[in-house]
A and B are shown apart, each in its own frame.
Chain A
Amino acid sequence: ETGVTQSPTHLIKTRGQQVTLRCSSQSGHNTVSWYQQALGQGPQFIFQYYREEENGRGNFPPRFSGLQFPNYSSELNVNALELDDSALYLCASSLAQGGGHQETQYFGPGTRLLVL
């Protein structure tokens, strides 16, 4: 069984640029969630994708967008990068089973983004 993988591991960008981060979900999982973890803080929910559609969004501006592909992998895109976007970006996959059951989210190792 393959766990959650993310690429790249590290990335350096300058203010105003655009970035794409990638995530491959754990085998058998159909849902991907993205979190931003600033230094010294807990992760903050960005959004979740289920069956290729956004299924919930946190308090992040529209320049944070995403995609989910038929194989359940996902991308996080951030446009017009700001210094405050520097953080560890975590992807988590889970298996949505319906009925309001809270599935467990399994996290990848993260992508560390530095915006200069």
Chain B
Amino acid sequence: AQSVTQLGSHVSVSEGALVLLRCNYSSSVPPYLFWYVQYPNQGLQLLLKYTSAATLVKGINGFEAEFKKSETSFHLTKPSAHMSDAAEYFCAVSETGRRALTFGSGTRLQVQP
């Protein structure tokens, strides 16, 4: 069965600081991995996805994530946080042939001025 663990339900950074949001997955087959962002009272917006083409994936708004098979991780990073990055971030996993996404419990990112 597939599962996702997001370490840290809340992360606070200063504006301009590095953002690091952690995601570890469990999957019995090579996974597809996704990061979504959710702003207050809105749906989910896709930030980036890993589909085995390249281990370093670049997404929108300056975010990127690196797939590390040996560590079963897919951590999300951004070199310099902006106030507009404050939101809830969800990591999700899916497997070939399975249509459902399995989400982590989310990490709320706060950006301090």
* A→B interface (CB under 8 Å): 4, 6, 31, 33, 35, 40-45, 48, 50, 55-56, 58, 90, 92, 96, 100-102, 104-110
The 13 listed contacts between A and B (C-beta, < 8 Å) are A33-B99, A35-B101, A41-B105, A43-B44, A43-B90, A45-B102, A48-B100, A58-B100, A90-B43, A102-B96, A104-B34, A104-B46, A107-B44
Cα–Cα distance between A82 and B51 once the two chains are bound (Å)? 38
Tally of contact residues, B, Cβ under 8 A: 26
Chain A minimum-CB-distance residue to B51 = A102
Cα–Cα distance between A108 and B36 once the two chains are bound (Å)? 13
A55 touches B99 (CB 8 A): yes
Cα–Cα distance between A101 and B53 once the two chains are bound (Å)? 12
B74 within 8 A of A: no
B97 within 8 A of A: yes
Chain A minimum-CB-distance residue to B9 = A40
Cα–Cα distance between A41 and B90 once the two chains are bound (Å)? 10
- On chain B, the residues within 8 Å of A109 by CB distance are 42-43
Cα–Cα distance between A43 and B44 once the two chains are bound (Å)? 10
Cα–Cα distance between A4 and B44 once the two chains are bound (Å)? 11
Chain A minimum-CB-distance residue to B104 = A42
B49 within 8 A of A: yes
B103 within 8 A of A: yes
Chain B minimum-CB-distance residue to A10 = B41
Cα–Cα distance between A53 and B102 once the two chains are bound (Å)? 21
Chain A minimum-CB-distance residue to B36 = A107
Cα–Cα distance between A48 and B90 once the two chains are bound (Å)? 20
Cα–Cα distance between A43 and B4 once the two chains are bound (Å)? 12
Within 8 A of A (CB), among B41-93: 42-46, 49, 51, 90, 92
A107 touches B100 (CB 8 A): no
Chain B minimum-CB-distance residue to A108 = B43
Question: 10 more A-B contacts (CB under 8 A) besides A35-B101, A43-B90, A108-B43?
Answer: A31-B99, A42-B4, A43-B103, A55-B99, A96-B99, A102-B32, A102-B96, A104-B46, A104-B49, A110-B43
Could you tell me the distance in whole angstroms from the C-beta of A58 to the nearest C-beta in chain B? 6
Cα–Cα distance between A102 and B46 once the two chains are bound (Å)? 14
